[in-house]
Each structure stands twice: as structure tokens, then as C-alpha cells.
Amino acid sequence: MTFDATFWVAVSFFIFFGVLIYLKVPGKINELLGNMITDIRKEIDESEKLRSETKSILDEAQKKLNTADKEVNKILKQAKNDSEKLVLEMNEKFHNSSEIKKNATQQKIQQMKESAIKDIKSTSIKIAVESVKKIISTSVDKSKLDNLFDKNLKETEAELKKINS
């Protein structure tokens, strides 16, 4: 019986597997793979835990952001309302102030007008009296003039009293 190469390959194959089983290599490989599977499961569980924590932190941050947005909008709306009220208030104060100044100016103008009219009347009367006095003194004799002057003077004084009162 001659043994060919396939026989020796088969024998060496069985010997190789026998040595592997004797040295408990499949158990060690199985144990190593089991440890790797356990480590991977732990990492997956830890990843899930981190993911859930991150999601809760993200949800909390989103709630805070929404609350902050609401507060910002509320503050902006309040500031806008306050500024509108302030503008209206300032506008009203400006118009009231303008109206008061306008009325005061009109009163001053009226007083100045009345004062000017009184001054003009007074000056006109004085000029008229002086003119009459000169005309009478040059055209009438002295005795008639004195009587006429006294009479006109009394009439003028009476008229002046009527005008001034």
C-alpha cells in the first residue's frame, strides 16, 4: 500500500485539528469572541445611555431656547408699546407747549397793539392841542385866546379822561 500525497494531507489535517482540540484553541477562541461580544454590547448600551442623556439635554436646551424666545418677544413687544406711548406723550407735550407759547405770543402782540394805539392817541391829542394852541395864539387876541384856551383845555382834558378810562 502506497500512500499518496492526499493521504498525508488528510493525516496532517487530522493531526492539526487534534492538536487544536488538545490545546483547547476553539474554547479560547469562543471565550475571546464572547468577551468581544460582551464588550461590544457594553459599548452599545453605553452609547444608548449617552444618546438618551444627550436627547434629554437637547430637549431641555430646546425648552429653554423656546422660553427665551418667548421672553425676548415679550420684552420686544413691551418695549415697542412703551416707545409708542412715549412718542405719543412727547408729541402731546410738544403740541401743548406750542399752543401755550402761541397763546402767550398772541397776548403780547395784543398788549403791544393796545399800548401802541394808546400812545398814538395820546401823541395825536398832544399834537392837536399844540397845533390849536399855536393857531389860536397867532390869529386871536390875547383875552379871547385865554378864554378859548381854557375852554378847549377843559374839553380836551375831559376827552382824555374818557379815553384813558
Give how many domains the chain has, as a whole number: 1
99 in a structural domain: yes
pLDDT score recorded for residue 2: 73
pLDDT score recorded for residue 44: 95
The DSSP annotation for 48-91 comes to HHHHHHHHHHHHHHHHHHHHHHHHHHHHHHHHHHHHHHHHHHHH
Instruction: Render pLDDT for 92-131 as a digit per residue (tens, 0 to 9).
Output: 999 999 999 999 999 999 999 999 888 888 888 888 888 8
pTM: 0.42
Dihedral sign computed on CA atoms, order 92, 94, 96, 102? negative
pLDDT score recorded for residue 137: 67
- Cell 429653554 belongs to 64
Domain range for 123 is 9-164
3 in a structural domain: no
CB count, 10 Å around CB of 160?
Answer: 15
2 in a structural domain: no
- Cell 392817541 belongs to 121
Query: pLDDT at residue 140 above 70?
Result: no
CB count, 10 Å around CB of 98?
Answer: 10
105 in a structural domain: yes
Report helix angle 5-22 to 25-139, nearest 10: 70
| Amino acid letter, residue 146 | D
Instruction: Render pLDDT for 47-105 as a digit per residue (tens, 0 to 9).
Output: 999 999 999 999 999 999 999 999 999 999 999 999 999 999 999 999 999 999 999 99
28 in a structural domain: yes
Query: pLDDT at residue 17 above 90?
Result: no
120 in a structural domain: yes
pLDDT score recorded for residue 136: 63
pLDDT score recorded for residue 80: 93
Distance in angstroms (rounded) separating the CA atoms of residues 118 and 123 = 8
Contact 39, 47 (CB under 8 A): no
